Structure 1
Amino acid sequence: MTIASREDLQRARLDADREMKKQDVRVLVCAGTGCVASGSEAVFEEFRNQLEGREGISLSFAPHEHTKVAAVCHTGCQGICEIGPLVRIQSGDQVIQYVKVQPSDVSAIIMRTILHGEVIDHLLYHQQAQYVSPDDIPFIAKQTRVVLSNCGKYEPDSLAEYIYSGGFSALEKALFDMTPQQVIEEVSNSGLRGRGGAGFPTGRKWSQVARQKDPVRYVVCNGDEGDPGAFMDGSVMEGDPYKMIEGMMIAAYAVGAQEGYIYVRAEYPLSVARLREAIRNLEEAGLLGSNILGSSYSFRLHINRGAGAFVCGEGSALTASIEGKRGMPRVKPPRTVEHGLWAKPTVLNNVETYANVPRIITDGAAWFRSIGSENSPGTKTFSLTGAIQNTGLIEVPMGTTMRQIIYDIGGGIKDGGTFKAVQIGGPSGGCLTEKELDVGLDFESVKKYDAIIGSGGMVVLNQSSCMVEVARFFMGFTQRESCGKCTPCREGTKRMLEILQKIVDGRGEMSDLDELDDLAQMVRSMSLCGLGKSAPLPVISTLHQFRDEYVEHIVDKRCRAHVCAKLRRFIIDPDKCVGCGKCARNCPAGAIIGAKKMPHKIVTDACIRCGSCQENCAFDAIYIEY
């Protein structure tokens, strides 16, 4: 399929529409990373194998009166990652969502659902009620999907299906009906802000690049997404790569760039594979290259894989990595818009930001502003993980409260637990507590609580989470990932981690809390890059919100969540101990004393809390006290 003009694109839409209308049934198998990991490829192959040559069904168009045409397709992430593999059966306007589908279920789905239109109850989603359509499931129904609108509906690799969904309508409109300046003005008027974490106005960034005197400009996409527990950008690249690419192409047209780079972390092999396939398809169709759609506009796109350095999520470190240098931030100004990739003016946005652009161009700035909050229009994707009933990928309007996300969409705390906090913004984010459940999540609101929206990682914590350990865990990650270029981040995070480790080990002193706070403020104010400046936020927010837990660890040598192993005490119950001595013989620290056939005792100061004594006691005489 060659698309060399506007007319060719319009014909391609008609062709795609005709092909889609030939399909009586679409078997949509989730091929997001979560479902692939739980075995969806085996389910996909089983559908293909069983439908191939089956009487009454054809996998290609066959105009026989009693033959159904079925299409077996991969899709992007269908959202409810925890209960995959996910399969949707679409027949006309009816869509049935099946969960936890195994290859052994395929035969029944073909016979009962595809051939006879029956619903298989035990494969449906259940939570207080039984749901047939994905749009009826509260987890999905209460979302507003813009960036993720195609995920779960179309084949990620298929250019024809993307065009059928409205793809490249925005590029067509921009090239033939708008000037570059009008494109920038539309994006500026929409209020779109960078979804990578900083929330910088996208239109302003584009206009700064467009007015540079240097004629060579670049467009770069940050697909690094190194936050633990975050998978939003990866899911967009896997599930709808053309949308992101179309957004990049529009940005390139607006600022006068002819070359672009997508920087993807190497740990996202599925994203890399689907982006490569999309770029290959676009080049073959003539939608990437010279004189796109017969216009004077030309654009080429490349993929660079990162080696997993968290700091390469920072703009100047990312561009340095693309150039083949060590990924380290540099002093600013000049900023990336003036001195970016190869010292040229560069537009650098993340995956989600670019994926918002096509709808803004087709539907207008006013439509985009009708969603979200006044200062943060549009939607935001979040990866919802942790102690939550429904984990997965969500998209909600900016300004949605944490209560709506956790209880209306997420289904509440898992196993009837008690909500404690949400760690938001990844390792450089902070914690929001029950007091902030009704705070609208947007760029400005969360700053008041020493937190950030970040790229959208959201980890829900329950009563079994120790907030001191949470701070130590994230500080450990940040300290390991520090590039080491600036002293405040390199040495400050190391010292903060040492103090946190000391506290969870039961060796903390009250003076440590003041030192932690002083170090956090120093690192926050003096680090070279944004990642260093936000690194102390987990400590700052937990110190503020959960200071009593820090004090308990230091003064009472107690962890209320029963998480910190060094604060547990092993006690021998004298009424159960028979004095066999097996615990003492297996104690590597020699911390157990007692005469033969007499109750033994553990010397707490000598105990290393390894648990060997409890494992070796045959009389259940040893218990843990926190």
Structure 2
Amino acid sequence: MSPPGVEPGPVVRVTADTSDRSAVIEAIDDAADVSVRRVGPAGTPSPLGLYTTAGRTAIHTDLRPDAAAEAATTLEDGDFPTTGAEAAVDHDEDTAAIPAPDSGPLSVGTRRVLGPCGWVDPTVRPEPVAAEFDPETVLDRVATVGLRGRGRADGATDDLISAVWERTIEAEGDPVVVIHAADTDCPTDELMCRSIPGRVLDGAGIVADAVGAEDVVALATDPAVEPLEAVADGELIHRAPESFRIGEPTMALEALEGNDRIEARRRPPGPEEWGLYGRPTVVHTPRTLVQLRTLLEDGEGFDPESADPGTRTVAVRGAVRAPAVVELRTDSALSRALSAVDAAGDRYVVGGRFGGVTGSVDLPASAPALSASGLGTEGVLEVLGPDDCIVATVGERAAFAREENCGRCVPCREGSKQLHGALRDVYDGEFDPETLRELARVMRTSSLCAFGEAAARPIRTALEAFEPEFRAHAEGRCPAGTCGGLR
């Protein structure tokens, strides 16, 4: 008898990011008598066709209907379809994750939380891990390990989640857990909701049990709503409006409450004390929830002595052949993520739209290391190409901050306007680095929420690493040779 969840006989898995997946699957069905599974995206630069039989998997990236059907026919005939495969891997028959090859994007880093993405059926909810632990044990383990929140949308961004839980438990009122899967800045949360939604919801259930919450609510981007709804069991799934600012946790709560004007809330108190409709609210991203579930399911790799236990996911994008999501140990170099997309360069933005600009990513992938270097911890590594002008890059982000801020606090609202104006002046020959640095400092230290705190990070770090390029623009030269000025 096959282990639970393991298909007897040949199985073909086709990832959700396959172009015209229905045509591919139809071609396989017409050509061969094999079991075909629709799985979520794996986060790799190319979509995958995974051809599995008897503990061996051939990984294909050529998913044209004819090529996919030919590989399936080979599998049905009892042969292993290695022709045209990117890799062939031997593995345990009951594996719950994509088997890692020795080379290629899937070999980069360590796929622990991402492992099931692209392998398991997203419409099947796994057995809950929380049933094996009482709430006190969960809280103690999370506190002992020192697990931190992941992503700017998390209510415990880079901080100890156990501290947030404890404040929620001590607060008055009925607590609620919010899954914040509506951050448009980082694609990893959406990836997890599409590929492993049951694990995301189970992670939220663990939190709910730990803090004594009866309600779990999710706010998700449009592509993530349907997969979450398909496996929901009492959780309420809400579709988020398209907005970058919703990524800030308190603005997400404003959206959930249906407010017409979305503004950041003053702190203290934080959401854990006064959150959704005034209830104590724990806000976590799918990245945090899946890390939590992985900790309880298999604590290997969560070293309590580490400054940032567990792993960090990194979405690599920008001047690359195709974007990818990589998972790294927090003590490994961030630069390792580049090998998943065959990218190289000497200029990067680390930490999303408001990330830090740098000439080197040879530093640990941990949140403390990135923060200490002045970079962002959002889990995004953007590669800038030779035609990407540094001054225009930070200018565009300043313009975005000027247009997208919620307008509630003066440092962010007025600071972003002044920052953008000062960058425009560079093109008129007026470069005042000290004014730019002071504006950035005021925004970082005085803004109401993380939006304003981070909005000036690109200019602050760009001045640190590439000040000569600003001086060149003030003299009328663009080193990249492509800059037409700020709008």
What's the CA shift string for 1:74-125, capped at 9, x where partnerless? 11222323x33x211011210101113111223311222332424353x333
Match of 1:124 in 2: 85
Which shifted more, 349-358 or 382-391?
A: 382-391
Q: Which one of 280, 304, 324 corresponds to residue 392 of structure 1?
A: 324
Q: Which has the higher helix share?
A: 1
Alpha-carbon separation, structure 2, partners of 1:234 and 1:448: 28
Q: Report the 3-state secondary structure (helix = DSSP H, G, I; strand = E; otherwise coil) of the residue aligned with 2:482.
A: coil
TM-score (norm 1): 0.72
| CA deviation after TM superposition for structure 1 residue 395, in Å | 0.8
Q: Which runs of 5+ in 1 are unaligned?
A: 1-13, 52-56, 58-69, 126-130, 280-287, 289-299, 414-418, 568-626
| CA deviation after TM superposition for structure 1 residue 566, in Å | 5.1
Match of 2:28 in 1: 47
Note if 1:484 corresponds to 2:445. Answer: no
1:113, 1:120 within 8 Å by CA — same for their partners in 2? no
* 528 and 48 in structure 1: CA distance in 2 versus 1, 3 angstrom threshold: same
Q: Report the 3-state secondary structure (helix = DSSP H, G, I; strand = E; otherwise coil) of the residue aligned with 1:136.
A: coil
| Number of residue equivalences | 471
Instruction: State the one-letter code of the partner of 2:303.
Output: S
Instruction: State the one-letter code of the partner of 1:563.
Output: T
Instruction: State the one-letter code of the partner of 2:366.
Output: D
Alpha-carbon separation, structure 2, partners of 1:87 and 1:479: 44
Note if 1:20 corresponds to 2:1. Answer: no
Structural mapping, 1:349-498, within 5 Å = 349-364=284-299, 367-370=300-303, 374-388=306-320, 391-407=323-339, 409-413=340-344, 419-434=345-360, 437-454=361-378, 456-498=379-421
Instruction: State the one-letter code of the partner of 1:275.
Output: L
Note if 1:331 corresponds to 2:251. Answer: no
Instruction: State the one-letter code of the partner of 1:411.
Output: D
Structural mapping, 1:74-473, within 5 Å = 74-81=38-45, 83-84=46-47, 86-121=48-83, 123-125=84-86, 131-133=87-89, 135-159=101-125, 162=126, 167-168=127-128, 170-174=129-133, 178=134, 180-197=135-152, 198-214=157-173, 216-227=174-185, 230-265=186-221, 268-269=222-223, 271-279=224-232, 288=233, 300-325=234-259, 326-364=261-299, 367-370=300-303, 374-388=306-320, 391-407=323-339, 409-413=340-344, 419-434=345-360, 437-454=361-378, 456-473=379-396
Q: Report the 3-state secondary structure (helix = DSSP H, G, I; strand = E; otherwise coil) of the residue aligned with 1:428.
A: coil
Alpha-carbon separation, structure 2, partners of 1:354 and 1:391: 23
* 438 and 387 in structure 1: CA distance in 2 versus 1, 3 angstrom threshold: same
2:24, 2:69 within 8 Å by CA — same for their partners in 1? no
RMSD in angstroms over aligned alpha carbons? Answer: 2.2
Q: Which one of 455, 458, 467 corresponds to residue 547 of structure 1?
A: 467
Instruction: State the one-letter code of the partner of 2:463.
Output: L
| CA deviation after TM superposition for structure 1 residue 313, in Å | 1.6
Instruction: State the one-letter code of the partner of 1:73.
Output: R
| CA deviation after TM superposition for structure 1 residue 510, in Å | 2.4
What's the CA shift string for 1:164-192, capped at 9, x where partnerless? xxx32x12202xxx2x2221111111211
TM-score (norm 2): 0.91
Q: Report the 3-state secondary structure (helix = DSSP H, G, I; strand = E; otherwise coil) of the residue aligned with 1:562.
A: coil
Instruction: State the one-letter code of the partner of 2:50.
Output: R
Instruction: State the one-letter code of the partner of 2:43.
Output: G
2:124, 2:198 within 8 Å by CA — same for their partners in 1? no
| CA deviation after TM superposition for structure 1 residue 493, in Å | 0.8
What's the CA shift string for 1:234-269, capped at 9, x where partnerless? 10000000001001011101111000111112xx32
| CA deviation after TM superposition for structure 1 residue 472, in Å | 1.4
Q: Which runs of 5+ in 2 are unaligned?
A: 90-99
Instruction: State the one-letter code of the partner of 1:558.
Output: R
Structure 1's consecutive aligned runs of 4 or more residues displaced over 6 angstroms after TM superposition are none
Alpha-carbon separation, structure 2, partners of 1:491 and 1:340: 27
What's the CA shift string for 1:516-546, capped at 9, x where partnerless? 2222122112211111111100010001110
Instruction: State the one-letter code of the partner of 1:223.
Output: A
Alpha-carbon separation, structure 2, partners of 1:132 and 1:473: 44
Q: Report the 3-state secondary structure (helix = DSSP H, G, I; strand = E; otherwise coil) of the residue aligned with 1:472.
A: helix
